[in-house]
Structure 1
């Protein structure tokens, strides 16, 4: 009976495994192969050039600029998103006044959860349309209109949010933080609700204030969830294609003058616009390798002893 279970298990696994190898692993292998050629996309004739494409990447100023922008996103996006989500999750779950019945969230916590989560149900296309109107470069834009009404801005000289080289990347970062905080708020809230309330009550009885309760109780017990969230946001920061291509000027975004360029937009421009498909495949391999390295480093750097409760 023991030996009969293996054919049964293999029978269930073989089809998903074949599909995974065919549609995930094999395209990766093909991309690595094409990255070693001078393939031009439409042409079926190409020759092997070795690591020339990778050598060209490190001498490509636009690629280095795009890489630097991804690094900035990699630093700020997880930090800002997770800190805000942790703060809001703490407030809606245990941030209210302690009562005879124990600790509780702020009044109207369930409504706040819905409000914060609402941006998560919006598609990227809707976000692009919405923030395209908010960041409009004239007084008809929401931000410029509000600033003009408050007399903080000259109506004849509005701020060009997405056309200013010093502002465009931070505007995009703000969009993603606004859209992503709600998801992680709900994720952290679910994790917090699994923490016994007795732990919070004991901390309060020992004289701990809210900040001490958060740093000494909540954060250590949520560390596994924070670690997973950090890796997930870091992977997203290495992509960022949709918002950049939809909100910024230029073919597949990246403007003005590459000040919002990220590696994925530069890849797509080389692949579909310039016809440098082999070169674009080399960029794709670099993105994959960098994403794997970032994920491993994040997991290793944030590893802590597991706390049981």
Structure 2
């Protein structure tokens, strides 16, 4: 009986596992192998280079700069997205007035969730066109420059560059504000776009978690004299910790990638200067850029390093945020 069950399980899983090994595991192993070569991606010759490509990564100023850009995104993007999503989810689900029916969300919360989630439905091409017009460096066709010019913040003759700005926004008065936050303006614009596109998804995720919590818990806290802020920090956050941990992993992985935004929205001039490069976009440029066709093996070394960073981040994050599940 057990032997028959084992054969059934093996037969059921054989082809899915085979496909996974062929189309997922094997390409990973090939990438690791090519990272130890000087292969140009086209010729049949694959000269062995050992760990020289990995040593060169420490000397590649553009790669190190791209790594720093990813670090800035990794710090800012998940924190801002999760905080905004938590705030809006709490307001929509528990922010309504308490009455005889108990605590409830604000009126029209379903419509608000749909509006917030809408950016998830847009393709990257539409997002690129939309935000390129918003950040355009002109007071005639650039929405944000025109708005700032209307209120007198921007001189119409000298509009802000936004996506074309390679300099950094330094924040005085903040410790290390001239170093830790020293990232090009174009990178901050990409982070704004990413937050705009991601808040809606995690708002829906956190809303689902909040709706699974019995409203009696919130009502009992309010009857005991708790304010909405105390209710949020003492009840909502602990009960949503599992969803927050998952969101942090997803957002961290997205922050270490960031390829689509950096490639589709940043102008080619920014990509040429490296101001908008993240690790993934520099990998693509190194492997397929018109002037670097002989660097395919080196690009594979970058990809392996990026995968290692992502794996280490996920392990550390899951270790830090691991807590016992709260039952209710």
Q: Which residue of 2 aligns with 1:282?
A: 301
The alignment's TM-score, normalised by the length of structure 1, stands at 0.97
Q: CA deviation at 1:163?
A: 1.1
Matches of 1:137 and 1:20, distance apart in 2: 46
Matches of 1:35 and 1:110, distance apart in 2: 49
Alignment of 1:144-223 (within 5 A): 144-165=145-166, 166=168, 167-223=185-241
Q: Which residue of 2 aligns with 1:28?
A: 28
Matches of 1:209 and 1:280, distance apart in 2: 54
Q: Alpha-carbon deviations, 1:157-205, whole Å to 9, x = none? A: 0000011122111100000000110000011101110000111111111
Secondary structure of 1:4's partner? helix
Alignment partner of 1:264 out of 280, 284, 287 = 280
Alignment of 1:68-107 (within 5 A): 68-107=68-107
List alignment gaps of at least 5 residues for structure 2: 169-184
Matches of 1:186 and 1:101, distance apart in 2: 23
Matches of 2:163 and 2:267, distance apart in 1: 8
Most deviating of 116-125 and 20-29: 116-125
Matches of 2:31 and 2:307, distance apart in 1: 11
Alignment partner of 2:260 out of 242, 247, 251 = 242
Q: Which residue of 2 aligns with 1:19?
A: 19
List alignment gaps of at least 5 residues for structure 1: none
Matches of 2:97 and 2:28, distance apart in 1: 53
Q: Alpha-carbon deviations, 1:45-93, whole Å to 9, x = none? A: 1211110000000111111000000001011110000000000000000
Q: What is the number of equivalent residue pairs in this alignment? A: 307
2:325 maps to 1:306: yes
Matches of 1:264 and 1:148, distance apart in 2: 36
Matches of 1:305 and 1:12, distance apart in 2: 34
Q: Which residue of 1 aligns with 2:174?
A: none
Matches of 2:317 and 2:299, distance apart in 1: 27
Q: CA deviation at 1:306?
A: 1.4
Q: CA RMSD in A?
A: 1.1
Matches of 1:207 and 1:300, distance apart in 2: 35
Matches of 1:95 and 1:254, distance apart in 2: 44
Matches of 1:174 and 1:96, distance apart in 2: 28
CA contact (8 A) 1:254 1:262 kept: no
Alignment of 1:30-49 (within 5 A): 30-49=30-49
Q: Which residue of 1 aligns with 2:64?
A: 64
